[in-house]
């Protein structure tokens, strides 16, 4: 038995807010449509989503994750470390230090509801978003 899920990620107060829903397949357009309906605490809306697939054999007690997609970001601004440094103000000091210290080549900033910045991995996808 196999089932697919989509997890939506929204800015939270201290940690990411998530909403997970079953989905028929890894359909990006369907996930984008569903993202419009997601509202977390304080009116936060998704900045990204990710697909997972879980499977279970008849002899298994519970399912296990067997596949995970990259993140699909719902719009946002991508910046390299050099770009962040070039425009950085004192308010960006921690971001620059984190990028340098952790080896992050790029970050994405999303403002769909609240400002959210996180590393952008090589296989992540930035989608067009209204």
The answer to whether 70 touches 124, Cβ cutoff 8 Å, is yes
- At 61 the pLDDT is 87
The answer to whether 106 touches 80, Cβ cutoff 8 Å, is yes
Beta strands in the chain (DSSP E): 2-10, 17-23, 48-55, 64-68, 72-74, 77-80, 106-110, 116-119, 125-127
What's the distance, CA 47 to chain centroid? 6
What pLDDT tens digit does each residue of the chain (130 aa) get? Answer: 999 999 999 999 889 999 999 999 999 999 999 999 999 999 999 999 999 999 999 888 899 999 999 999 999 999 999 999 999 899 999 999 999 999 999 999 999 999 999 999 999 999 999 8
Domain locations in the chain?
Answer: 2-73, 76-121
């Amino acid at each position: 038995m196999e089932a697919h899920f989509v997890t939506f990620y929204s800015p939270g107060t201290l940690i990411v807010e998530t909403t997970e829903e079953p989905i028929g397949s890894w359909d990006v357009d369907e996930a984008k449509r569903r993202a419009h309906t997601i509202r977390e605490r304080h009116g936060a809306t998704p900045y990204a989503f990710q697909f997972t697939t879980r499977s279970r054999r008849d002899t298994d007690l519970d399912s296990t994750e067997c596949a995970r997609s990259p993140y699909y970001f719902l719009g946002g601004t991508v910046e390299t470390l050099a770009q962040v440094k070039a425009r950085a103000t004192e308010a960006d000091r921690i971001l620059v230090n984190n990028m340098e210290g952790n080896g992050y080549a790029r970050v994405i900033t999303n403002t769909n509801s609240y400002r959210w910045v996180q590393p952008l991995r090589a296989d992540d996808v930035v989608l067009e978003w209204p």
